[in-house]
Amino acid sequence: MAVVSPEVRPKPRRRGAVKPLSRGAAYLLLALGAILTIAPFYFMFVFATHDRSEIFQLPPPVWFGDDTAKNYQSLLERVPFWRSLWNSFYLAFISTATTLFFCSLAGYAFAMYNFKGREFLFGIVLATLLIPTALNIVPYALIMQALGWIDTPRALWVPGMAGAFGIFLMRQYIGSAIPKELMEAGRIDGATEFGIYRRIILPLCGPALGTLGLITFINSWNSFVGPLIIFRSPETYTAPLLLRSLQAVANTDWGALMVGVALTVLPLLVIFVFASRQLIEGLTSGSLKG
């Protein structure tokens, strides 16, 4: 060892301390990338504080203005903005609650029970992730029309309440974090199978439920194609649809529209600030392990 070490020592040190030039280049690259990533958000909020004529001038405003109140008034005069935000929230909340329940239940079954056909059935669950969503658009529209679910939120949350991604996520978590002995203990104490899920397993799923809940909430909040097909009357519009309807009119008040955009995105940014790590890990875990 003593003979080898003089030769080895310099190499690891070189690994840690990258050459100053390449390190500087890396910093520059990362900083530039970060600025370009953040810039549209910055402009989103800056534009929300300017009126239309100021947004479209050269150079465009780069600092906050004082037309926020005016834009906000104009937004409320044109469209029922808070109504649409409530619709979005209502839809996202129900989607999240039902998804958490059904996905954790199914994930629990796949993780903890040995039953005939388990591998095959789980294979089907995963295979459904591969069906392109585009294929489903037209039949989805037709079915909802036939069911009379047009203009109702259930057209959106019912089909999605036991999604494959959520089941996968919950199965991974329950399988790796919760020992099977707990089930046996529950049985000895006389709990029913559902009782074991509800009283023992569910309370231990906190982190995974949190992640899945955030992902479901955000996806629902942002969804556009589904609501575009389902919601026809303005009072049922979710926030993205309302923004789209504001953009589509001939004489768009861009200041008002940007206030709407900012208010729609703000909740997401707040969630992200507090839970970015959990979200990133949850969203990518499916791809990493699958």
Partner 1 sequence: MQARATIPRERPSIGTRWNNFQRRYAPYIFISPFFILFLAFGLFPILFLAYLSFQEWQPSAGLGTMKFVGLRNYTDNLTDPAFWDALRHTFSLAVMSGVPQHLIAIPLAFAIHMGLRKLQGPLTAVYFVPYITSVVAISVTFFTLFSWQYGAINGLIQALHSLPLIGGLFPAERINWLGEKAFIQPAIALVVVWRFTGWNVVLYLAGLQSIPKDLYEAAAVDGATRAQQFRFITLPLLRPMMFLAITLTLIGNLQLFEEPFILTNGGGGPGQIGTTAVMYMLRTYQSYADAGLAAAMGWLLFVVIAVLTFVNNQVFGRSGLAGRE
Site for partner 1 in 115-154 (CB under 8 A): 115, 118, 121, 124-125, 128, 131-143, 145
**83 vs 154 by CB, closer to partner 1:** 154
- Residues numbered 30 to 59 that lie near partner 1 (CB under 8 A) are 30, 33-34, 36-38, 40-41, 43-44, 47, 55-59
Minimum CB separation from partner 1 for residue 73, in Å?
20
Of 277, 274, 284, whose CA–CA distance to 169 is shortest?
Answer: 284
Do residues 126 and 168 make contact, with C-beta atoms less than 8 angstroms apart?
yes
Q: Which residue in 193, 207, 234, 235 binds partner 1 (CB under 8 A)?
A: 193
- How far apart CA 30 and CA 61 sit, in angstroms, is 26
Find the part of the chain contacting partner 1 (CB under 8 A) among 4-12, 65-73, 173-181, 205-213: 4-12
Minimum CB separation from partner 1 for residue 69, in Å?
20
Does residue 69 bind partner 1 (CB under 8 A)?
Answer: no
DSSP SS3 for 116: coil
Minimum CB separation from partner 1 for residue 264, in Å?
5
What DSSP designation does 49 have? T
- Residues numbered 75 to 104 that lie near partner 1 (CB under 8 A) are 102
Token match 């959520």: residue? Answer: 166
Note every long-range contact of 152-156, with CB atoms under 8 Å and residues 24 or more positions apart, other chains counting.
Answer: 152/230, 152/236, 153/87, 153/90, 153/91, 153/94, 153/236, 155/226, 155/230, 156/91, 156/95, 156/220, 156/223, 156/226, 156/227, 156/230
Minimum CB separation from partner 1 for residue 88, in Å?
10
Q: Which residue in 185, 189, 224, 235 binds partner 1 (CB under 8 A)?
A: 224
Phi first, then psi, for residue 250 (nearest 5°) are -65, -45
Count of alpha carbons within 13 Å of 40, Cβ hemisphere only? Answer: 5
Q: Which residue in 63, 194, 203, 233 binds partner 1 (CB under 8 A)?
A: 194
Cα dihedral 284, 285, 286, 288 sign: positive
Phi first, then psi, for residue 233 (nearest 5°) are -100, 140
**54 vs 80 by CB, closer to partner 1:** 54
Residue count at the site for partner 1 (CB under 8 A)? 96
- Residues numbered 227 to 286 that lie near partner 1 (CB under 8 A) are 229, 239-241, 243-244, 247-248, 254, 257-258, 261, 264-265, 268-269, 272, 276-277, 279-280, 283-284
